[in-house]
Amino acid sequence: MSHSTLPQTEVPRTDPVSGAAPQAPGPRTAARATGAADPLAIWPASVVPLSQDDLALGGVPLTELADRFGTPTYVLDEDEVRNRCRAYLRAFPDADVYYAAKAFLCRAMAHWVAEEGLGLDVCSAGELELAVTTGFPPERIVLHGNAKSPADLRAALRLGVGRIVIDSTSEIARLAAAVPAGTRQKVLIRVVPGIAAGGHAKIRTGTEDQKFGLSIADGSAQHAITRVLSQPRLELVGLHCHLGSQITTVKPYLSAVRRLVGLLARIREQHGITLPELDLGGGHGVAYRPGEAALDLTGLATKIRAELAGGCAAAGLPVPRLAVEPGRAIAGPAGVVLYRVLSVKRTGSHTFVAVDGGMSDNPRPALYGVRYAPRLVGRRSATATEPVTVVGRHCEAGDVLASDVHLPGDIRPGDLLAVPVAGAYHLSMASGYNLVGRPPVVAVTAGHARLLVRRESLADIQERDIGL
């Protein structure tokens, strides 16, 4: 569907991931120079301000998207996704880049990622089947999971995934027994390097005493390596680690490289083999609000390569092939969610703005206390802003989407709110709470909008309930 011509007011943006400076000066450049937080810096690069405080994304006005598809609606900027994939391939030219499907997956997303040359990191038979039936090459897929079911492993072997990441010693025998005779499955061992990193305690996975991986410190990783090497149907090709999520500094990754290179050296000494692969996982942080820190991709890639080369040289090891697994850093900033205001309630000193979505389509604020920057779109207000709490429609006091955000004082029912950086861990973590139904996903590019995932209807929900 084509849309009316938009005014040519787009301002040059930074590289979507690396943060490189734009090629021409503009208002946002001035904002950075003065230290001011650019309110549109966290939006996709295609965003264009329109009249009446509307915004166009991928050449399509947000108000038009809300009118056409209803609310809540998730909007993905296809070009932003593709550009972020390309930025990773530029930063890691001699590495494998796997998109972490758990951030958000649909058939179109799998197709875009495959076309851009990335692999895919999946965590279940469901994610795996969707990707392969979309046409994603199974040899470019890695299967993760701390508790893979028999169905997960059977699907991985049947479809021919390239790598399976072993997360526990009990998984070794189960997987080896399932591998068809006369074949070998390539595997990596997920190790715990004992490094605390991540934006919240619940998303730190590189430390001891949590459910993921096998510890270097207590010898579990070394024991698992010995076990795998004794299985003729398993081919150990490397080590894997994942430190956590929403990491915004490079230092934890460099610490992980040092510890993993040390383990690679011990493996060679004890077993006489040199493992050719090293997967450092993902967890690359993004900015959810203007002025927040994000991980510098270019700096990350440069420093990791230098640390890996130096460490391997010191240990007398060849440099293994590197892999990284970005999810949020590709999908998150490419997504925007649209909500309609249902009510405004002033209670004491607090103002609550309730919208037609909530924790059923975005549980992250309730789980991790993440903060967003909602924006009023489609109506110009001359009223000064005031702090409000944007809440959802669900029967939970913790159903809060954005606390202490500034919106015009005349915010009212019917207004349209847009929340940027909504492409990751929203719909992928959505629930059926209150039987509201999950929102649709719409893609925009070059002035066109198309439905990728339809809205979950009441009929969909009722059809699953078959018993009396």
List active site positions.
Answer: 395
* Continuous H helices in 297-359: 297-315, 328-331
Cα separation of 143 and 361, whole Å? 26
341 sits in which H/E element: strand 335-347
Neighbour tally for 196: CB within 10 Å: 13
Cis-peptide, bond into residue 72, ω within 30° of zero: yes
- Tell me: is residue 357 an annotated ligand-binding position: no
For tokens 């787009």, the residue is: 10
> What is the bridge-based pairing of β-strands 141-143 and 119-122?
parallel
For tokens 């999971």, the residue is: 145
- Tell me: is residue 93 an annotated ligand-binding position: no
Sign of CA dihedral 177, 178, 182, 187: negative
- Tell me: is residue 396 an annotated ligand-binding position: yes
- Tell me: is residue 171 an annotated ligand-binding position: no
Cα separation of 121 and 141, whole Å? 6
- Tell me: is residue 328 an annotated ligand-binding position: yes
Instruction: Calculate the alpha carbon distances from 394 to 343, 362, 423, 432 in Å.
Output: 13, 12, 21, 11
Neighbour tally for 33: CB within 10 Å: 9
Cα separation of 328 and 294, whole Å? 11
Instruction: Calculate the alpha carbon distances from 329 to 63, 85, 91, 176, 278 in Å.
Output: 26, 9, 13, 34, 20
SS3 category, 115: helix
355 sits in which H/E element: strand 350-355
Neighbour tally for 173: CB within 10 Å: 12
* Amino acid at site 222: Q
SS3 category, 238: strand
Q: Please, are residues 344 and 291 in contact by the beta-carbon 8 Å criterion?
A: no
Cα separation of 67 and 294, whole Å? 33
Cα separation of 344 and 357, whole Å? 15
End-to-end Cα distance, the chain: 44
| Residues pairing with 12 in the sheet | none
Neighbour tally for 163: CB within 10 Å: 26
- Tell me: is residue 327 an annotated ligand-binding position: yes
Tell me the binding residues for pyridoxal 5'-phosphate.
283, 325-328, 425
Tell me the binding residues for substrate.
328, 364, 368, 396, 425
Tell me the binding residues.
283, 325-328, 364, 368, 396, 425
